[in-house]
Amino acid sequence: MLQPRITPCLLLRNKGLVKTVKFKPFKYIGDPINAVKIFNEKKADELIVLDIDATSKGLEPDFSVIKKLAAECQMPLCYGGGIKTVEHAIRIIKLGVEKVAVSSAFIKNSNLLTEIVTEIGSQSVVVILDVKKTIFGKYEVYINNGQTSTGQSPVDLAQKAEKFGAGEVVINSIDNDGVMGGYDLSLASKVRKAVDIPITLMGGAGSLKHMEELIKLCGVVGVAAGSFFVFKGSLRAVLINYPSCSDKDKLIKDSLNVS
């Protein structure tokens, strides 16, 4: 039986680990390899690593960094950032990464997604959609680190991602990013109802209760977070953390009403 996944998301900028609030500003919080080592010890379900500079600056994936991350990571690893070609995706998978994530490249050229899926399989391909509300309350997907609106809805693009072969869609709320006040449950529900492939929600987690609310609403989904796993207390001191096995089991049982 599939179970919800609890997934830390790490953001890379200039080879360092950073965190944002609503996609800005950038706060340096440490070395990504050290963070991976801690998540190994804490037995995280999986890990998402996103190079937030690569695509916006037109850079290729930093294969040297990816190689180090893949060698250290003892859990399934998803990497995104700068992937523009089938060759990029294949090379990353060969380095030991389980999944590649695309965003801007998919939106600009949906056929690229199908080409990547053909080479490495749908189970290894994730589409990430960064979503923000307009002043009129409409959800739109943005690219370029949340700076450019595509004018397209996350529901439409999630359905398109499924049609073109993606094995998973990650929905990231820009408005809730780093705020730690809870997930956008309305957004999560809309996308969950629109597609059959696995989805992961990101943006807003500040407690296990927030994760429980999301799973109760949407069922078996991935719950991802950044700030929740790297900050401690009201002063947001940097402290890498992850739920214990007992806390995680209780969260899943309570969320899904499993005895």
pLDDT at 107: 96
Active-site positions read: 130
**pTM here?**
0.96
pLDDT at 39: 97
Structure token pair of residue 26: 């950038």
User: CA-CA distance, 153 to 129, in Å (whole number)?
Assistant: 10
The residues with which 149 forms a beta bridge, in sequence order, are: 142
154 pLDDT more than 80: yes
Q: How many residues does the chain have?
A: 259
Give the range among 184-188, 226-230, 232-236, 254-258 with minimum mean pLDDT. Answer: 232-236
User: CA-CA distance, 106 to 83, in Å (whole number)?
Assistant: 10
pLDDT digits (tens, 9 = 90+) for 28-55: 999 999 999 999 999 999 999 999 988 7
Query: Over pLDDT 70: what percentage of the chain?
Result: 99
Q: Cα-Cα-Cα-Cα dihedral of 110, 114, 117, 123, to 10°?
A: 70
Check if the beta carbon of residue 101 is closer than 8 Å to that of residue 50.
Answer: yes
Q: Is 166 exposed, middle or buried (0-12, 13-18, 19+ CB in 10 A)?
A: buried
259 pLDDT more than 60: no
Q: Cα-Cα-Cα-Cα dihedral of 114, 117, 118, 119, to 10°?
A: 130
Structure token pair of residue 211: 């994760």
pLDDT at 113: 97
The residues with which 126 forms a beta bridge, in sequence order, are: 101, 168
> Other CB atoms closer than 10 Å to residue 198's CB: what's the count?
17
pLDDT digits (tens, 9 = 90+) for 158-171: 999 999 999 999 99
CB within 8 A of 36, min separation 6: which ones?
10, 47, 69, 72, 73
CA distances from 126 to 181, 212, 223 (A): 26, 23, 15
pLDDT at 111: 97
pLDDT at 25: 83
Residue 7: pLDDT band (50, 70, 90) is very high
CB within 8 A of 223, min separation 6: which ones?
4, 5, 6, 7, 183, 200, 201, 205, 211, 214, 215
pLDDT at 109: 96
Q: 63: closest CA among 95, 16, 41? A: 95
Is CATH 3.20.20.70 the right assignment for the domain spanning 5-256?
Answer: yes
DSSP for residue 61: P
DSSP for residue 196: S
Question: Which residue ranges make up each domain of the chain?
Answer: 5-256
User: CA-CA distance, 28 to 12, in Å (whole number)?
Assistant: 9
pLDDT at 235: 74
Residue 237: pLDDT band (50, 70, 90) is confident
pLDDT digits (tens, 9 = 90+) for 182-196: 999 999 999 999 999
Q: What is the mean pLDDT of the chain?
A: 95
User: CA-CA distance, 108 to 70, in Å (whole number)?
Assistant: 28
| Stretch 65-87: mean pLDDT | 97
> Other CB atoms closer than 10 Å to residue 40's CB: what's the count?
14
Please tell me which of 5-9, 247-251, 254-258 the model is most confident about, judged by mean pLDDT: 5-9
1 pLDDT more than 80: no
